Amino acid sequence: MSRLRVLFRTTAVRLSALYLLLFSLCAAFLVFYVTAMSQRLLEQQTKDAVTAEVAQVEEIYARAGVNGLLRTLERRARQPGANLYVIAGPTGEILAGNVASLQPGLLDKEGWTGEAFRYQRYTDESRKETHVALAHVLVLDNGLRILVGRDLQEPEKFRVLVRQALVVALGIMGIGALIIWFAIGRNALKRIDRMSDASTRIMAGDLSQRLPMSGSGDEFDRLSESLNAMLGRIEKLNEGLRQVSDNIAHDLKTPLTRLRNKAEAALAHKATNSGYRASLEEIIGESDQLIRTFNALLMISRVEAGAAAAEMSDVNLSQSVADCVELYEPVADEQALKLEADVPADIHVSGNRELIGQALGNLIDNAIKYSDGGANPLIKVSLARRDGAIVLSVADHGPGVPADRRDDVVERFVRLDESRSKPGTGLGLSLVEAVMEMHQGSLELSDTVPDAENNRGLTASMVFPARSG
Amino acid sequence: MVTRMKILIIEDDLEAAAYLAKAFREAGIVSDHASDGESGLFMASENSYDVLVIDRMLPRRDGLSVISELRRKGVHTPVLILSALGQVDDRVTGLRAGGDDYLPKPYAFNELLARVEVLGRRKGAPEQDMVYRVGDLELDRLSHTVRRQGRELLLQPREFRLLEYLMKNAGQVVTRTMLLENVWDYHFDPQTNVIDVHVSRLRSKIEKDFDQPLLRTVRGAGYMIKEDGRTDA
């Protein structure tokens, strides 16, 4: 029964109930109006016929006198389906005509009888049926009273018929509405139930579940569609989170194990004070590296979550690039590399100076780390406009990254085998990508010298979208 | 003998607080400890400290609210904020609340010590001095010139700012991150030894043709510029 109550609470059922009520009121009004109008019309017709008859009666009386009138009325009264004719004396006793009895006092007043009255006919005496009629009373100058009337059976029948039709129509309408209510409401309920079933499964942890779609493109489908899009986003974020925790488990356990081993080794050996000191320093170095990795991970996830988006402002990119190049130039110099900048003045973007600086720092740092062994010691940092977008790229002439590995190196903790020996967290490019995503831009990787045999070099480009304001 | 620095540590982790107190004592700094925001606020406004070290997340009243309440009361003691939260936007909110410096956890004690010392001596720092002097080295902030033994040394603009910051905090340890923050205005970890390379370039310019070394590397901590022979602090 509670299910029925739920059904009645659905919007579809409530709306259709309201419509049904309004429609019934209108229909009832319409039917009553139509019957009233047609009844009046029929009554008018009856009155017109009676008036014409009265005029004839007066004319016959004037022409043929009482006897002529009586003869004519006698003849007319005997015709089948005739009008009502009563000839009565001055006191009201019925002398002739086709009426057996009348309501008393009806003949006292000349003119229309006003309301419809009841009477009994001669012709169907056997049945003693009571009829309703409308009549006109005429008082002749000799005191005789003549009543000319017309039966109202037809209009009455019509009225009853229309009433019946109305009741039947309303009944059918009500039943139909109930059926429609039930169908619509139940359909809506069913779909809602299916949706909540799906969400229950999703809540239970199966994020790959989607809300059902009927394919009709109606409001339910549109709702499902946007909820599904939301679920997709959540699933992707969740997947990213899971990947990060997997990576953390894997890539942080290694240095933690190393840390522990070093501490154990220091304890196991009967070392001198200075030996302990060296071990402790190594351990601090190792934990600093761990902290660095942690910080980088945290930073990436915060940037990805858009936490830093609040601190966006106008950044003089030209200035930032110049600062960064100036910061790293001595390091490059020390490794016999040449860090060169090609930076036009006054290029601005809307962003976070700190994060852009760090991202560019990561790219330059990578370029310095991986430039060795290349034929060309040049690392070029350039800033340029390309189709409205602003491209900041760092090009080195090191071994480069094969085209099929480029998506991989951006992933967290992924390092190509050749670079495992180099210091680093494997998070540098991930951070750059996260920073660029936060700026609605992208990180593009390409060859510096595409047609070279080897040492094609890597060009990493931070692409900022054209400014929208 | 310079008067000892006195600081207040507001930190709810008692073990960490005990460790800090011990480490500061060994470095010649007296410290008081408060374990929640309310008592910290009370102690900081009743007593006179040289520096307040405030953890961001505290019971009863959070660190940022302690700072803004102190500032509202007119207490302008320098504040260093310690925070276990992330990096990018936290620093900004911390400094906006009235903090003077910010250090994310986990940190090296040497880093904290160097920052506390710089904050604590800010009172007597020669902010208005137009000329900084360390031994025979002289830096003129107005004319942007550096002389040693009266001879002008040619420095790049960034080298000048690096030396200016070191000389402003002469006799105190300055860490690599402090240099990156104050000279380059970046707060990230540059990973490679970028700062070291810049400092060694500067060192070669100011020491190459002279006998006395001025700029020394403090192992495990950072750098310090100091006239040789004097042994205070």
Range in A98-102, A226-230, A385-389 with the lowest mean pLDDT: A98-102
Mean pLDDT (chain B, rounded): 83
Work out the pLDDT band at A422, boundaries 50, 70, 90: low
Average pLDDT over residues A113-119: 72
Residues of B within 8 A of A368 (CB-CB) are: 192
B60 vs A374, more confident:
B60
A268-294, pLDDT tens digit by residue? Answer: 876 677 778 888 888 888 888 888 888
Q: How far is A267 from chain B (nearest CA, A)?
A: 23
Q: Domain A311-464, what architecture?
A: 2-Layer Sandwich (3.30)
User: How far is the alpha carbon of B163 from chain A, nearest alpha carbon, in Å?
Assistant: 15
**Which residues in chain A have Cβ-Cβ distances shorter than 8 Å to B86?**
298-299, 302, 307
Please report which confidence band the pLDDT of residue A176 belongs to, taking 50, 70 and 90 as the band edges: confident
Using DSSP's 3-state secondary structure scheme, residue A99 falls into strand
What is the rounded CA–CA span in Å between residue A284 and residue A255? 12
Closest alpha carbon to A137 in A165, A162, A112? A112
Separation in Å, CA of B88 to nearest CA in chain A: 6
**CB of A288 within 8 Å of any CB in chain B?**
yes
Asked if residue A373 has pLDDT above 80, the reply is no
Distance CA A239, CA A245 (A): 10
Record: contact B89-A295, CB cut-off 8 A: no
CATH architecture for the domain at A233-303: Orthogonal Bundle (1.10)
Domain ranges of chain A: 2-157, 233-303, 311-464
Q: Which residue in the block uniquely carries the two structure tokens 């019946």? A: A164
Q: Which amino acid is at B27?
A: A
Position A469 scores a pLDDT of: 41
Give the one of B88, B190, B201 whose C-beta lies nearest to A311's C-beta: B88
Q: Which residue of A has its CA nearest to B184?
A: A323
What's the one-letter identity of residue A301? S
Contacts 24+ apart (CB under 8 A), B120-125: B120/B5, B120/B7, B120/B29, B120/B50, B120/B51, B120/B78, B121/B5, B121/B169, B121/B172, B122/B78, B123/B50, B125/B168, B125/B169
Distance in Å from the first CA to the final CA of chain B:
8
pLDDT at A439 over 50: yes
Q: Which of B92, B104, B106 sits opposite A311 (nearest CB)?
A: B92
Q: What is the dihedral of CA A413, A414, A417, A420, to 10 degrees?
A: -20
Q: Which residues of B touch A281 (CB under 8 A)?
A: 220
Q: Which of chain B's residues have a Cβ under 8 Å away from the Cβ of A320?
A: none
Which residues, 6+ apart, have CB-to-CB distance to A430 below 8 Å? A300, A410, A411, A412
B96 inside 8 A of chain A by CB? no
Place of tokens 């009841």: A118
A148 in contact with chain B, both atoms CB, cutoff 8 A: no
Whether the per-residue pLDDT at B230 is higher than 60: the answer is no
Phi-psi region at A140: left, alpha or beta (left = phi > 0; alpha = psi -120 to 50)? beta
| Selected residue with higher pLDDT from A154 and A43 | A43
Residue with tokens 């009666």: A57
Looking at domain B5-124, what is its CATH homologous superfamily?
A: Response regulator (3.40.50.2300)
Res B86: pLDDT: 57
- Chain A, window 328-357: residues with a beta carbon less than 8 angstroms from a chain B beta carbon: 328, 330-331, 333-334, 352, 354-355, 357
Whether residues B158 and A424 touch (CB distance < 8 A) is answered with no
Q: Considering only the beta carbons, identify the residue of A299, A327, A424 that sits closest to B184.
A: A327
Is the pLDDT at B144 greater than 80? The verdict is yes
For residue A290, what is the nearest residue in chain B, using CA coordinates?
B106
- Over range A201-211, report the average pLDDT: 80
**B182 vs chain A: nearest CA distance in angstroms?**
13
Q: What is the pLDDT of residues A117-145, one digit of tens each?
A: 777 776 555 555 667 777 888 887 777 78
Cβ separation of B88 and A299 shorter than 8 Å? yes
CB-closest option in A307, A328, A361 to B88: A307
In chain B, DSSP assigns E strands to 5-10, 29-34, 51-55, 79-83, 101-104, 131-134, 137-140, 145-148, 151-153, 174-175, 215-218, 222-225
B180 to chain A: closest CA residue: A327
Which of B88, B197, B201 is nearest residue A302 as measured by Cβ atoms?
Answer: B88
pLDDT of residue A258: 84
Tokens of A339: 């860090």
Q: Can you give the residue ranges of every domain in chain B?
A: 5-124, 131-225
B197:A331 CB<8 A? yes
Q: How far does the CA of residue B160 sit from the closest CA of chain A (Å)?
A: 14
Give the minimum alpha-carbon distance from B42 to chain A in angstroms, rounded to a whole number: 33
CA–CA gap between residue B230 and residue B207 (Å, rounded): 18
Q: Which residues of A touch B104 (CB under 8 A)?
A: 295
| Whole-number pLDDT of residue B232 | 40
Q: Lowest mean pLDDT of A304-313, A450-459, B66-75, B131-140, name the range.
A: A304-313
- Strand spans (E) along A54-129: 84-88, 94-97, 99-102, 111-112, 117-121
Those residues whose C-beta lies under 8 Å from the C-beta of residue B30, and which sit 6 or more positions away, are: B4, B5, B6, B7, B24
The answer to whether the CB atoms of B191 and A310 lie below 8 A apart is: no
Residues forming beta bridges with residue A158, ordered by sequence position? none
Domain A2-157: top CATH class: alpha beta
Q: In this prediction, what percent of chain A has a pLDDT beyond 70? A: 89
Q: Give the pLDDT confidence score for residue A301 in this predicted structure.
A: 78
**Chosen CATH of B131-225 out of 3.30.499.10, 3.90.1150.10, 3.40.50.720, 1.10.10.10:** 1.10.10.10
CB atoms inside a 10 Å sphere around CB B22: 11
Residues B65/B89, Cβ–Cβ less than 8 Å: no
Q: Which of A13-17, A145-149, A243-247 has the highest mean pLDDT?
A: A145-149
Tokens of A7: 């059904």
Q: What CA–CA distance (Å, rounded) separates A374 from A68?
A: 143
Q: Are B7 and B30 in contact (CB under 8 A)?
A: yes
Q: Which residues of B touch A334 (CB under 8 A)?
A: 197
Residue tagged 């990805």 (tokens): A304
Q: Spell out which residues of chain B touch residue A352, defining contact as CB-CB under 8 Å.
A: 88
What integer is the mean pLDDT of A253-280?
A: 81
The C-alpha atoms of residue A376 and residue A362 are separated, in whole angstroms, by 21
pLDDT at B41 over 50: yes
